[in-house]
Structure 1
Amino acid sequence: MVRTVFRGESINFGYDHKQLILKKVELMIEDQSIYGLYGAASSGKTTLAKVMLGLEKPEQGTITWFNERLNSSTNRRVGYVPQQKALIYDVSVYENVMLFGKLYQYRGERLKQQVEQALQLVGLWEERKLVSAKLSDEQLQRLNIACGIVHMPDVVIMDSLTEHIEKKAVSFIMEIVRQLHDLGMTIVYLSQNMEEIKQLCTHIGILKDGILSAEGTIESLIDDKEMNEYRDIL
């Protein structure tokens, strides 16, 4: 039997009640998967992530994590690496991650262990004393990831990680995603780059104008005769 970590049913959301951004979205994410949520800019990917996390409340629909409605327990099991980095640039790399660790109620030696583990995973342990403002764009993205996973969640949602970084750095970011998956994390990977999704992901959802128009493994979508409109990108 397939275990699911997230299920969304008939999700409607809009900042303006007259115009919906998300329209009857049906989404299921399997445990231990790397789920790629593909869509163009303004397709609703980031909005959907915020609704999934409880940062925005849907006008209609139900959301469950680990077969429970959103609550403090489920929140601790989910991490979020946002597209807009929530970093403090005039403090050190170490202090940034420590601040996020404290948000999850870690203290003392356990907090230090969590921070070191996160920085080791993203390859920034040697740079831990640097002021964050001195980091490159790629290093800032790695720090962004460390802050989102310092509590070692069961699931992590990652929003457009490779935008605005050099192409040669993209493979390093993708390797971090693979390492986290190897540790047992379920990954929800938001991107408008289908090649990245094809390289990384086990499952894919295609979001178009706020509608989840296709969902499944890449192989199943290619084989689906009704998916002709997506064959050029798959």
Structure 2
Amino acid sequence: MTETTNIALPAMRVSYEQGSLSESELAATWHEQLQLWLDAATNAGLPEPNAMVLATTDTKGRPSSRTVLLKGLDARGVVFFTNYTSNKSHDLMATRFASSTFPWFAMQRQAHVRGVVEKVGPVETAEYWNSRPRGSQIGAWASPQSRVVSGRSTLDSALHKIERQFADTEKIPVPPHWGGWRIRPEEVEFWQGRRDRMHDRLRFRLGRDGWNVERVAP
């Protein structure tokens, strides 16, 4: 019989005391600030610092979330790449809106990006595709992402089939069902944990006259 441990969830807590965030410390733009925090997480040795939790909803308002990897960041928005036939892509094509969260727990920080989405152009998609390892390229061709399969052997067979298909091809082309999505932010919030749960939350918000910075209560 397996012994279980009763974890006292109500008693689990961490006192956030690593830092603070003031308006005077913010970069001039949201994307510069996000890059600063991303660089800090990378330099601190955090695992997959570019991982972000992507949240979408379907046409009935039912939410889904999953972790994807940030692969592009500039004034236009944040970019990730995926299968266009996946559930997340179906949600994005239907609602044209998404949010993402960067959970840098070790630094007691989070960043939230919310906005409309658009597909990344073919030139930008091809540039990133050509930087991917060959195995990742083959996997993108082989996997019917989000579809139910009969077992692991089905996936392995599909992978081997694609490996044979491109065995003599030096440069594997971009699949027609694969590409990038860009979230064009309307809000970007930077969250820094503080003692007594009085966290710092500073938000860039896009208005009619451009970007404004506002403080949000924790």
Query: Would you say same fold, with TM above 0.5?
Result: no
After TM superposition, the score normalised by the length of structure 1 is 0.23
**Which has the larger Rg?**
2
Greater relative contact order structure (CA < 8 Å, 6+ sep): 1
After TM superposition, the score normalised by the length of structure 2 is 0.24
